[in-house]
Amino acid sequence: MNTTPLLSVRGLTKHFPIRTGVLQRVTGAVKAVDHVSFDVARGETLALVGESGCGKTTTGRALLRLVEPTSGTVQFDGVDVLALKGESLRRMRRHMQIVFQDPYGSLNPRMTVGAAIREGLVVHKLAEGAEADRRVAQLLDEVGLRADHAARYPHEFSGGQRQRIGIARALAVEPAFIVCDEPVSALDVSVQAQVVNLLRDLQRARGLSYLFIAHDLAVVAHMADRVAVMYLGRIVELAPRAALFATPRMPYTKALLSAVPVPEPGAARARILLPGDPPSPVNPPSGCVFHPRCPHPLKDAACTRLVPPLEEKAPGHFVACIKEPPTSVPTP
C-alpha cells in the first residue's frame, strides 16, 4: 500500500502586514497562520476545526496559493507547490480544488451553471464542444441535479443546490484533493445532511482526499478520519476522529467539545466555560497562545514562556501542551 501522504505541509505560515499612516508603512502583522504542519493521505479526510479567526480558512487557501504563504513548504504528490510559477502552477490547479462556504458568492451570477462547470474542462483542455457538454451533464447527475439545469443561472437555485453546483465544478477537472471550506455551514440542517452524504459518496466513488474545514464539530464527527484543532493560527491538537472525541487531551479541545449543545434535554453537562474572548491574532499571547484562558490545573509560568511543540502523546495523537504527559493508555 502506498503510504506516502498525498499532501505534506510543513511550517506553513501566513502573516498579513498591517499598514498605517499616510506612507502606508508596515507597523505589525496579523499572524493568521503560524507554522502549521500536517499530512493528508490518499482517500483520507482531514478535518480542520476551530472558531472564527483561528486561521483555518486561510490555511486552506494558502495551500492552494489563492493566498500566497509567507513561508513553509507544501508537497503535493512529490511536487513542491510553493515553488511553482505561471503555467506549471496553473496546471497544478487541476489536481487540487476547492469548494467554498458561501453558496451565493462563489458562483458568478452572470454565468450559467453549465458554463461555470465547463470552464475547468475548457481551461485545462480536457474536453470541448459536445464532449464537454456531455461531461457537464454527467457531473450534474452525479451531484444530484438534472442535466437541463445547466442552462440556468445561479440565482434560480437554492443554497443547497448551489453548493452541489460548486462541488460539480470542483469535480470537473478530476482532482485528487479538494479543500472543502465550510461547505455546509450556510445550509439548513436537512440540506446539510444531504450535502454531507454527497461528499462522502463522492469520496468513496472517486478516491478523493479532503481537507474539511469546519467550525461545527458534529458535522466533522460524520466526515473526518482525522481531526486537527486550530487556535489562533496554530494546530493545538491532531488526532484520529475517535480518539479526539473520546479522549481529547488539549484543554481547548475539551472546552470546544463540551460547548457543543447536544439535542438531548436534561443531559448532564460538565460544561467547561472558557473565560473571556479569543485574543486578536495581531498580538498573540507569548508562549502558548491559549494560556490566558486555559483551565488546565497544572498551568504555570512556563506556559507563558514556551511555545509548546505539537508532539505525539499517544499513537497518532498529537498535542501542543507542555503539561500533558505522553501516555500509551488514554487518561479519562
Partner 1 sequence: MTPPRDSHTLLDVQSLQVTFPGAAGMVRAVDGVSFTVAGGETVCLVGESGCGKSLTSLSLLRLVPPPGRIESGGHILFEGRDLLSLDEAALRSVRGRQMAMIFQEPSTALNPVLTVGDQIAEVVRVHTKCSRRDAWQQAVDMLAQVGIADAPARAKQYPHELSGGMKQRVMIAMALVLTPRLVIADEPTTALDVTIQAQILELLRELRARTDMALLLITHDLGVVAEMASRVLVMYAGRVVEEAPVAALFASPHMPYTEGLLRAMPRIDSAQVSDPDALPDRLVTIPGTVPAPDALPSGCTFRDRCAYAWDRCAREEPVLYQVGPAHRARCHLVQEPERRTPHAASTASREVAA
Partner 2 sequence: MLKRVAVPPGLWLMLSLVLVAVAAPWFAPYDPNATLDIIALKNQAPSLDHPFGTDPYSRDVLSRVLHGARVSLGFAFATVILALGAGTLYGSAMAFASPFMGTVLRRLLDVAFSVPRLLVLLAVAGVAGPLDVRLLVVLMAGTGWFATARLVHDEITALRTREFVLAARASGVPATRLVVRHLLPHLGPLLMTAASFSMAGTIMLEAGLSYLGLGIQPPTASWGNIIRDGAGLIQTHWWLTVFPVLATVIPIMTCNAAGDALRDRFAPPQFAGSAIPSPSNPPRGRIPSLFRQ
Closest contact distance (angstroms) between CB of 70 and partner 2 is 17
Distance (Å, whole) CA 240 – CA 38: 13
Which of partner 2, partner 1, none does residue 287 bind (CB under 5 to 8 Å by kind)? none
Q: Should residue 102 be labelled a site residue for partner 2 when binding is judged by CB under 8 A?
A: yes
Grid cell, residue 119, equals 470552464
Between 210 and 290, name the residue whose CB sits nearer to partner 2.
210
Q: Say if strands 234-240 and 226-231 run parallel, antiparallel, or are unpaired.
A: antiparallel
Binding segment toward partner 1, per CB under 8 A, in 13-21, 26-34, 82-90, 219-227: 219-227
Answer yes or no whether residue 106 interacts with partner 1 by CB under 8 A: no
Stretch that binds partner 1, among 34-42, 72-80, 125-133, 249-257 (CB under 8 A): 249-257
Q: Please say which residue, 112 or 247, places its beta carbon nearer to partner 2.
A: 112
Q: Does 245 bind partner 1 (CB under 8 A)?
A: yes
CB of residue 165 vs partner 2: minimum separation in angstroms? Answer: 11
Q: Is 332 in the site for partner 1 (CB under 8 A)?
A: no
Torsion of CA 324, 327, 329, 332, to 10 degrees: -10
Binding status of residue 290 toward partner 2 by CB under 8 A: no
241 binds, among partner 2, partner 1, none (CB under 5 to 8 A by kind): partner 1
> Which strands make up the sheet holding 25-40, listed edge to edge?
25-40, 7-20, 71-76, 79-80
The burial class, CB within 10 Å (0-12 / 13-18 / 19+), for 168 is buried
Residue 257 to residues 113, 217, 308, Cα–Cα distance (Å): 39, 7, 21
Region binding partner 2 by CB under 8 A among candidate stretches 28-36, 100-108, 137-145, 266-274: 100-108
Question: Which residues are CB-neighbours of 324 under 8 A, at least 6 positions away?
Answer: 249, 250, 313
**Closest approach of partner 2 to the CB of residue 170, in Å:** 8
Q: Which does 173 bind (CB under 5 to 8 A by kind): partner 2, partner 1, none?
A: partner 2
Rule CB under 8 A: choose which of 158, 280, 286, 304 binds partner 2: 158
Would you tell me which residues interact with partner 2 (CB under 8 A)? Answer: 24, 61, 64, 66, 90-91, 93-94, 97-98, 100, 102, 104-111, 119-120, 123-124, 153, 155-159, 166, 169, 173
Would you tell me which residues interact with partner 1 (CB under 8 A)? Answer: 51-52, 143-145, 158, 160-161, 164, 188-194, 196-197, 200, 215-219, 221-223, 240-243, 245-246, 255-267, 269, 271, 273-274, 276-278
